[in-house]
Amino acid sequence: MRIVVCAKQVPDTEARVTVGKDGRSIDETGITFIINPYDEFALEEGLRIKERLGGQATVTMVCVGPPRAEEALRTGLAMGADAAVHVWDDSLAGADAAALALVLQAAVTQLGFDLILCGRVAIDDASAQVGLRLAERLGLPHANAVTKLEVQGSKLVAHREVEGGVEVVELPLPAVVTAQKGLNEPRYPTIPAIMKARRREIGRPGLAGLGLDAGKVADACRSEVLSLAPAPARKGGRLVAGEPQEAARTLAHLLREEAKVL
């Protein structure tokens, strides 16, 4: 079984993110990047499926991202991925979800796959659409926000989070699955595995190797960021003093009379 995991690098959740000089992207100076947590769930699931199949599977990690994203792929290899593919071209900076789906389609098609695993959402742009666009482009079914996954021969049984409950869906392979928190607890790579991953080959097809070029990427973009700005900072308000009863009474009145939220 050929499993492809699409993963992205994102700023650490603790990172202080500021706007770059162009006013449309972030200033990456000093930022630590991590594998998007949801993509890590996807990768971990790929590795577990392989283990459950007694090793009768390959797990390939694909990442579209600037040179720094190589680190994410090395981490993936150290966790146990069999192969890693890094796609980058300067024309991809600022590419939107529509363009990324095009690039990933080319990459996964070239690799060949039975199952594509993605994160449900990336925590940087919170756009939550690349995986599903990819499924649509490939004409494949998908299961979104999956918290439990089982491969049964040529089909998948997935538990997916829906509002107020869980939906159990069955879908034939090949298919796209997006990982939700709760699917698994990603492993930590061991030190020897990290050392070994440093020396591993990483595939770098380049846009040309995928039958694409800068023009095609630009043509596929459907959105444009006009500007980025820091969100208005919240200021601390007032502390309501007094014994619990008294403080609670004052607060209740403030919420109604001053804040007008009740």
Partner 1 sequence: MAGIFVYAETKEGEFRKATGEILSRCRGVADATGEPLVAVVVGPAPEDAPRRLAPFGADLVLHVEGPGLEVYTSQGYAWAVTSCLAGRQPAALFFGNTPLARDLAPRVAERMDAALHADCTGLAWEDGRFVFTRPLYGGKLLARAVSRPGHPVLATFRPNSLGVAEVAATSPAYERVQVEVPAGSVASVVKETIRQVAGRVSLQEAEIIVSGGRGVGGPEGFRVIEELADVLGAAVGASRAAVDAGWISYDHQVGQTGKAVSPNLYIACGISGAIQHLAGMSSARCIVAINKDPDAYIFKVADYGIVGDLFQVVPALTAELREMLVRA
Ligand X SMILES: Cc1cc2nc3c(=O)[nH]c(=O)nc-3n(C[C@H](O)[C@H](O)[C@H](O)COP(=O)(O)OP(=O)(O)OC[C@H]3O[C@@H](n4cnc5c(N)ncnc54)[C@H](O)[C@@H]3O)c2cc1C
Q: Are 3 and 115 in contact (CB under 8 A)?
A: yes
- From the list 48-56, 59-67, 122-130, 204-212, the region that binds partner 1 by CB under 8 A is 122-130
* Residue closest to ligand X, measured at CB: 13
| 132 token code pair | 């599903």
Out of partner 1, ligand X, none, what residue 1 binds, judged by CB under 5 to 8 A for its kind, is: none
Site residues for ligand X per CB under 6 A: 13, 37
How many angstroms from the chain centroid is the CA of residue 234?
28
Q: Which is nearer to partner 1, 7 or 77 (CB)?
A: 7
Q: Is 172 in the site for partner 1 (CB under 8 A)?
A: yes
Q: Is 14 in the site for partner 1 (CB under 8 A)?
A: yes
* Helix residue ranges per DSSP H, 112-187: 130-138
Residue 173's alpha-carbon distances to 106, 113, 140, in angstroms, are 19, 10, 8
Q: Which is nearer to partner 1, 21 or 199 (CB)?
A: 21
How many whole angstroms separate alpha carbon 65 and alpha carbon 63? Answer: 6
Interacting residue with partner 1 among 77, 161, 184, 186 (CB under 8 A): 161
Dihedral over Cα of 58, 64, 66, 69: its sign = negative
Residue 145 beta carbon to partner 1: minimum distance, rounded to whole angstroms: 7
Interacting residue with partner 1 among 181, 204, 213, 214 (CB under 8 A): 181
